[in-house]
Each structure stands twice: as structure tokens, then as C-alpha cells.
Amino acid sequence: MSTVVLLTLTGLGLAALYFLIASGLSLVFGLAGVLNFAHGLFLSVGAYAAWQAATHWGLGLAIPIGVLAGAVTGALVELVVIRPLYRRPTEQVLATVGLSLAGVALLQSVWGADPRPYPRPAWTAHTTTVLGAPVPDDRFLLIGAAVVVLAALLAVLRWTRYGLIIRAGVENRAMVSALGIDVRTAFTLVFALGGALAGTAGVLGGMYFGSVSPSQGASLLIFAFIVVVIGGLGSVTGSAVAAVAVGLLQQFVNYFGTSGAGDVSVVALLAVVLLLRPGGLAGKVAA
């Protein structure tokens, strides 16, 4: 019983990390129609910014600086790289893939290729016993952060002006433009929001793994894309459900199966969903 509890809570912690990355990806694709392969770079920039802040100024500033760094990076990428290519999807993919590779190389040139130990609050290294299972406290931090982010995103999408614009743009971008609404500003805001969420994932991911490396964002991005496709492109709630399914499946299969079997099972789940429900669990809706 204790093993099942530990695997469940650890899987939910990993699911929370996937959701934080996938929610931004899903919103960007839903509104702007951009498959942003540089999204992992936002995570890595946020993680290293938080690491740098924690090293020099203490942990108190690490999280907001990491989130801000991710948001600024997202907005800059949209303004400089993506905006000239909105009507050229092939070039978008090539540009974001190239930016991702260049970003990893740049991070390696500044901080080196080796993983660096990640500073974190002392309490996150402790454990809490749940039904006989000693669960690391950082898992609860990740789960709590994901729940707060999900609630905040749903509130923004349903009850704010830009949230309504985003939801309408996901359904019919041409109609929103015809109403005289400047969707370009909405695009930049969504990229900034996605970058902030990725930066949050970078900060919390460093605590989860205990280290940060230049390629960490790119490796997590693979599973985030799987979550987005399973959940339904453009759906925040679909991404949340898919992240839970992927995180739990990966943890349980990796524990009870052979090494790497969890990753294979996630790809198999993706294939099954695409065969049975090509639009994903929730389809292309914003919430």
C-alpha cells in the first residue's frame, strides 16, 4: 500500500510539472497556431535565472525572477522570431527548432554542460508520511502549484477580457480580427504567459530533480507535447487530465516494469488516443 501511495504522489508531482509546461504550449497553439519547439528554452532560461538569483541574492527572489525571465523570453521570441512568420508555418517550425538548439548551446557556453546542484528551501528535502509512505515534500509543492495555476488560468480565461479574446481566438481567429480586436497583442501576451508558466516549471523542476542542466527543458518538452496532443490542442483542462494520466502511467510502469518501459507506455498511450480520438480528450477548446 505504501508503495502505491508513494508512486501515486510522485507521479502527480511529475504530472504537475508536465502540466505547467503543456498549458502554455496549448494556449499558444490554440490561439496563434504555433507549434513552438523553443518552449523548452523558456523553461531552461527560467531555471538558470532562478539558480543565479538564489546563488547571489537568496531563495526569496529566485522564484519571481525565474518566472519573469521565462515571461520576458517568451514575449521576445514572439516579437522577434514568430511574428514575421505567422503565415509561414514551415519556417515557424524551423525557426523554433533552430532557436531551441542555439539556446541550449548558449546556456552551455555560459554555465557549462554539466548539471548544477539546485538550491531549494530546506523543508523541501524533508518527507511527510502519508499512509505509511514517506513522500518528499517537494512533490506537494509541485502539486499545489499546478492546482493554483490551473484555477488561475480557468479564472482568467472565463472572466477577463483577454481571456475571452483568447477563447474566441481559439475557436475562430478570423472572426476576432474582423471585430477589430488587435490579436497581435493577445499573441504576445499568450507567449509571455506561456513563458511564465514554463519559467515556473523550470524553477520547480530544478527542485524536483535536484539539479539544472541546459538540455533539461528540451527533454521535458517531449512529454509536454505528448500531454498537449492527448489532452487536445488548445485545451487547458484537457492538458491537466492528460498530464495526470501520463505522469501516473510513467511512474507505475517504470517501477513495476523494465527500465525505460514507462516512456514507451506513454508513447503507446499517445498512439491509442490518436487512433480512437484524433482531436484529443477535450478537442480544440480553451477551457
User: What are the residue ranges spanned by the domains of the chain?
Assistant: 2-111+131-276
CB 12 within 8 A of CB 145: no
Predicted pLDDT of residue 43: 93
Predicted pLDDT of residue 180: 67
- Other residues' Cβ atoms within 10 Å of the Cβ of residue 19: 32
Predicted pLDDT of residue 44: 93
Q: Write the DSSP symbol of residue 258.
A: -
pTM of the model: 0.89
- Rounded Cα distance between 122 and 20, Å, is 23
Q: How far, CA to CA in Å, does 31 sit from each of 83, 101, 166, 179, 203? A: 13, 25, 6, 16, 26
SS (H, E, C) 3-71: HHHHHHHHHHHHHHHHHHHHHHHHHHHHHHCCCCCCHHHHHHHHHHHHHHHHHHHCHHHHHHHHHHHHH
CB 146 within 8 A of CB 136: no
Predicted pLDDT of residue 199: 92
Predicted pLDDT of residue 97: 92
- Average pLDDT of adjacent 10-residue blocks, the chain of 287 residues: 86 93 84 82 92 82 91 93 84 90 91 85 79 84 92 86 71 66 78 92 88 88 91 85 94 85 90 87 55
CATH architecture of the domain with range 2-111+131-276: Orthogonal Bundle (1.10)
